[in-house]
Amino acid sequence: MKIAILSREPNLYSTRRLVEAGRERGHEVDVIDTLHCYMDITSSRPTVRYHGEELPRYDAIIPRIGASITFYGTAVARQFEMMGTFNVNESVAISRSRDKLRSLQLLSRKGIGLPRTGFASKADNIKDLIKNVGGAPLVIKLLEGTQGIGVVLADTAKAAESIIEAFMDLKANILVQEFIKEAGGADIRCLVVGNRVVAAMKRQGAEGEFRSNLHRGGSAEIVKLSKEERETAINAAKAMGLNVCGVDLLRSHSGPMVMEVNSSPGLEGIETATNLDVAGKIIEFIEKNAKQNANRTRGKG
Ligand SMILES: Nc1ncnc2c1ncn2[C@@H]1O[C@H](COP(=O)(O)OP(=O)(O)OP(=O)(O)O)[C@@H](O)[C@H]1O
Ligand SMILES: [Mg+2]
Ligand SMILES: [Mg+2]
């Protein structure tokens, strides 16, 4: 098969591993810089152009679209879909996953466990917003943050009020969320490919840190999932319409709670922690599912 990886970073671990896994299985794999693609949006014959030439026909694309280029990256992925190329994670699903509020709304409709979450745009609702998620301590999050930046723990209702007010004043979109204390600064990253969790790791935040992000100094180790955790991760991926994703769970007293679903999950941390060939599983998924015109919008909202 002919596979293209949409990535700005050919030397990144995840990109290199996908190239390697594809070639090992006898496929032709190209890395294409997403921002250097441009589109010819012509009736009946949409194409993608690259460095002055029309790109060849690929059987599948693997979009690895960073949060900073979501708009353009999803447009390029969509153009491939218009051409009938199989896209591992369809553009609509990537857009959904980039917005924490939209994601949580979609997950809540499917009855998937979630921390209680509120969202408002006006400061006059702040007290009720805080009360509704069970009061302080609580977590305040920027809707489009990554790597744990823009995630704040407010210890008291007073602190929460001033932080929320400050964010609103800056016109930043934030959500207010119940703090899952019993998670103990750890979360579980489940790597879903198709209808399976192919690898899982537990990430533990650095000493005194409630955020488990590896970018914030957390550490990772292999973990065994319960049946409920496995099912929650798979259902979350399905609700988002993502075939390949990282579902982050918190272990709470009332069962697994989904915090977010990442549509371009990094492979380095999880392959290192688990010693599993996740890149290979993604290529296998493509082998089984890549067909012309197979993409259709899955999920609603
Ligand atoms: N409601 C919560 N209760 C307890 N801990 C939380 C809660 N929300 C977030 N955390 C902790 O903070 C970390 C960062 O939060 P979150 O994943 O929502 O942010 P992010 O910036 O989108 O990170 P990522 O880089 O993974 O996309 C989580 O991994 C978790 O450890
Ligand atoms: Mg995130
Ligand atoms: Mg996260």
Check which CATH number belongs to the domain holding 261 and give it.
Answer: 3.30.470.20
CA of 298 to the centre of ligand 1 (A): 26
> Are residue 128 and residue 48 in the same domain, yes or no?
no
CA of 47 to the centre of ligand 1 (A): 38
Residue 283 is predicted with a pLDDT of: 98
Please report whether residue 104 resides in a domain: no
> Are residue 10 and residue 90 in the same domain, yes or no?
yes
> Are residue 251 and residue 274 in the same domain, yes or no?
yes
Residue whose C-alpha is closest to residue 204's, from 191, 220, 228: 220
Please report whether residue 294 resides in a domain: no
With both helix axes pointing from N to C terminus, report the angle between 278-289 and 13-24 in degrees, rounded to the nearest 10.
50
* Average pLDDT, integer, range 205-232: 93
* Average pLDDT, integer, range 21-47: 95
Residue 100 is predicted with a pLDDT of: 87
Model confidence at 271: pLDDT above 80: yes
Known binding residue 23? Answer is no
* Per-residue pLDDT tens over the stretch 126-139: 999 999 999 999 99
Known binding residue 90? Answer is no
- Helix ranges (H only) for 100-201 are 100-109, 126-132, 157-169
> Are residue 168 and residue 154 in the same domain, yes or no?
yes
* Average pLDDT, integer, range 50-58: 96
pLDDT grade for 295, boundaries at 50, 70 and 90: confident
Mean pLDDT of the chain: 94
Residue 58 sits in a domain whose CATH number is 3.40.50.20
Kindly state the helix (H) or strand (E) to which residue 238 belongs, with its residue range: helix 227-240
221-245: buried (b, 16+ CB within 10 Å) or exposed (e) per residue?
eebebeeebbebbbbbbbbbbbbbb
Residue 293 is predicted with a pLDDT of: 85
How many whole angstroms separate alpha carbon 248 and alpha carbon 104? 12
* Domain encompassing residue 197: 182-288
Amino acid, res. 103: S
* Per-residue pLDDT tens over the stretch 190-199: 999 999 999 9
Model confidence at 66: pLDDT above 90: yes
Q: What is the pTM of this model?
A: 0.94
Q: Of the given ranges (27-31, 73-77, 100-104, 231-235), which has the lowest mean pLDDT? A: 100-104
Known binding residue 210? Answer is no
> Are residue 216 and residue 238 in the same domain, yes or no?
yes
Please report whether residue 225 resides in a domain: yes
pLDDT grade for 144, boundaries at 50, 70 and 90: confident
Model confidence at 124: pLDDT above 90: no
CA of 209 to the centre of ligand 1 (A): 11
**Atom 4 in ligand 1: which residue has the minimum CA distance?**
180
> Are residue 69 and residue 161 in the same domain, yes or no?
no
CA of 80 to the centre of ligand 2 (A): 25
Please tell me the total count of domains within the chain. 3
Model confidence at 146: pLDDT above 80: no
pLDDT grade for 215, boundaries at 50, 70 and 90: confident
> Are residue 142 and residue 197 in the same domain, yes or no?
no
pLDDT grade for 125, boundaries at 50, 70 and 90: confident
Please report whether residue 66 resides in a domain: yes
Residue 262 is predicted with a pLDDT of: 95
* Average pLDDT, integer, range 28-33: 98
| Phi, psi dihedral angles at 148 (to 5 degrees) | 80, -5
- Judged by its nearest atom, the ligand closest to the C-alpha of residue 114 is 1
Is the shortest distance between the CB of 147 and ligand 1 below 6 Å? yes
Residue 292 is predicted with a pLDDT of: 87
Please report whether residue 298 resides in a domain: no
Q: Which atom of ligand 1 is nearest to the CA of 145?
A: 21
pLDDT grade for 286, boundaries at 50, 70 and 90: very high
ipTM above 0.85, yes or no: yes
